[in-house]
């Protein structure tokens, strides 16, 4: 009799275990989101004007997102997604490294068909969040309304073990998703030293250009953890919301301000009208025009961030901005090997050269400053081979930016003095190699006091 009770009890236990397993069994899912994009400034080795024109790196391009002027599917790094099925819904941040996220649902209550809403929001590994929204020039905690796209009734691969990826593509708005993908890629590639900050990016549908991170009140909430950005996003033409280097450039300004913990801009002045000058000047600036060196200091740094985002440190690199496609190592479209950069080799065309002294004084071009920052970052020397990290490059900008004596014409001298305080770098780099890169790239146009005259630079 006892044996029968034991058998019955065991049978009931097995049945309960089986029921419990069925009730709590789950299907595992992995959704991987891709964004349909089309840039306006990506390199292409097969298209004249979309690659380095001359010199040892002729035909070269940047390393990431090449040929995307023809359209690409970009990984939706860190994207925000809501998944729903019937009455159930939940929001997820995709992995910044893969654009994928995982979730599970009970096997006895659901099928494998879901609806996904993808938002123009993303988060990087350091907790920095970006929002692409519809209200440019608006500031505050959550300006405007973010965009979204719905992927309805999507079957996802289900697995009782490790989740298997299902790849999904959003391609309903090139301006929105190109800006979102480029901004997310920027923060994925360059957030060192910056954490838990917000980038609010407003799309201006009334203009193709005019992108900015400083106009109006856009840069007035840095100390509150918010950088606001406006991107031109016209429906017809070449909207800057689809220019990957411009998107990364504006975020670069924000990274520098966050590192400095300073609202607004450092002092700057466009009014360098000293002649002779073949590079142009006036009420606006470009990659190639001549201004006071305060412009190159800040704009060249934002260009550097953008260049680092789309180029690997080990490559020679390329950079594109509003029709100019530049070699990161050589001026003149890749052909310029002589020391002095564009400023001293192209901007002053008078003879003899000493008549250029007043034109060069305190001046600079943005492209020369870009190459200066790139050379410091990729420093090569047999006896001084330390290379700064991305956070240190932000420090170089931020410490200079916060010097009380920084003005509109002394950026080079102030940067040299700031660099001398960066003890995370060896003296041979912060004192010697940095000065050499300034000379080589034509940004050392002011006579500066040696910040540490007791250190011997003759070997570096």
Secondary structure (DSSP) of 194-210 = --S-EEEEEEETT-S--
pLDDT (tens digit, 9 = 90+) per residue, 340-354?
999 999 998 776 666
Q: Which helix (H) or strand (E) holds 446?
A: none
Lowest-confidence region among 27-41, 224-238, 442-456 = 442-456
- Indicate if the pLDDT at residue 205 is higher than 70: yes
Same domain, yes or no, for 384 and 243?
no
Closest CA to 179 of 39, 327, 337, 4: 39
277 inside domain: no
- How would you classify the pairing of strands 198-204 and 72-75? unpaired
Q: What average pLDDT does the structure give for the chain? A: 93
| Residue 212 and residue 202 in contact, taking contact as beta carbons nearer than 8 Å | no
pLDDT (tens digit, 9 = 90+) per residue, 154-185?
999 999 999 999 999 999 999 999 999 999 99
- Indicate if the pLDDT at residue 24 is higher than 80: no
- Indicate if the pLDDT at residue 13 is higher than 50: no
Neighbours of 158 (CB within 10 A): 19
128 inside domain: yes
Name the pLDDT band for 293 (thresholds 50, 70, 90). very high
- Indicate if the pLDDT at residue 321 is higher than 70: yes
- Between CA 328 and CA 334 the distance in angstroms is 8
Same domain, yes or no, for 254 and 313?
no
Name the pLDDT band for 112 (thresholds 50, 70, 90). very high
Helices marked H in 95-148:
none
- Between CA 122 and CA 226 the distance in angstroms is 15
> For the whole model, what pTM was predicted?
0.94
How many domains is the chain built from?
2
Same domain, yes or no, for 221 and 326?
no
Same domain, yes or no, for 104 and 196?
yes
pLDDT (tens digit, 9 = 90+) per residue, 395-443?
999 999 999 999 999 999 999 999 999 999 999 999 999 999 999 999 9
Range of the domain at 427: 290-441
| Residue 430 and residue 290 in contact, taking contact as beta carbons nearer than 8 Å | no
Report pLDDT for 3. Answer: 52
pLDDT (tens digit, 9 = 90+) per residue, 64-81?
999 999 999 999 999 999
Same domain, yes or no, for 211 and 301?
no
User: In the structure encoding, which two tokens stand for residue 225, read together?
Assistant: 């953890």
Same domain, yes or no, for 161 and 233?
yes
């Amino acid at each position: 009799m006892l044996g029968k009770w034991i058998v019955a009890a065991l049978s009931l236990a097995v049945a309960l275990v089986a029921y419990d397993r069925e009730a709590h069994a789950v299907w595992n899912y992995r959704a991987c989101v891709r964004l349909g994009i089309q840039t306006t400034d990506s390199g292409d080795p097969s298209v004249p004007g979309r690659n380095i024109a001359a010199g040892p790196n002729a035909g070269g391009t940047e390393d990431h997102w090449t040929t995307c002027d023809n359209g690409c599917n970009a990984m939706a790094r860190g994207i925000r997604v809501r998944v729903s099925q019937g009455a159930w819904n939940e929001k997820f941040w995709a992995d910044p490294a893969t654009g994928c996220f995982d979730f599970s649902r009970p096997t006895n209550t659901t099928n494998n068909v879901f609806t996904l809403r993808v938002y123009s929001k993303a988060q990087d590994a350091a907790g920095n969040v970006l929002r692409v929204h519809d209200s440019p020039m608006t500031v505050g905690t959550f300006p405007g309304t973010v965009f979204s796209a719905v992927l309805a009734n999507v079957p996802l691969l289900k697995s009782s073990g490790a989740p298997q990826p299902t790849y999904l593509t959003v391609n309903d708005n090139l301006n929105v998703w190109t800006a979102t993908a480029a901004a997310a890629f920027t923060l994925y590639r360059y957030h060192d030293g910056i954490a838990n900050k917000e980038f609010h990016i407003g799309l201006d549908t009334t203009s193709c250009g005019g992108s900015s991170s400083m106009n109006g009140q856009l840069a007035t909430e840095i100390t509150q953890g918010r950088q606001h950005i406006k991107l031109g996003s016209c429906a017809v033409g070449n909207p800057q919301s689809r220019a990957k280097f411009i998107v990364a450039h504006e975020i670069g300004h924000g990274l520098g301000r966050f590192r400095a913990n300073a609202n607004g801009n450092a002092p700057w002045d466009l009014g360098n009208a000293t002649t002779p000058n073949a590079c142009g000047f006036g009420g606006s600036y470009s990659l190639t025009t001549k201004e006071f060196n305060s412009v190159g200091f800040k704009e060249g740094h934002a260009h550097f961030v953008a260049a680092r985002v789309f180029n690997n440190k080990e490559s020679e690199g390329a950079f594109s901005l509003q029709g100019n496609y530049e070699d990161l190592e050589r001026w003149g479209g890749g052909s310029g090997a002589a020391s002095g950069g564009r400023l001293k080799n192209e901007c002053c065309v008078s003879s003899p050269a000493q008549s250029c002294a007043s034109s060069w004084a305190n001046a600079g071009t943005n492209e020369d400053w870009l190459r200066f920052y790139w050379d410091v970052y990729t420093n090569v020397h047999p006896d001084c081979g330390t290379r700064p990290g991305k956070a240190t490059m932000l420090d170089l900008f931020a410490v200079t930016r916060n010097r009380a004596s920084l003005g509109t014409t002394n950026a080079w001298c102030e940067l040299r003095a700031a660099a001398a305080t960066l003890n995370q770098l060896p003296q041979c780099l912060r004192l010697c190699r940095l000065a050499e890169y300034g000379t080589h790239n034509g940004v050392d146009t002011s006579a500066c006091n040696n910040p540490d005259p007791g250190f011997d630079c003759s070997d570096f």
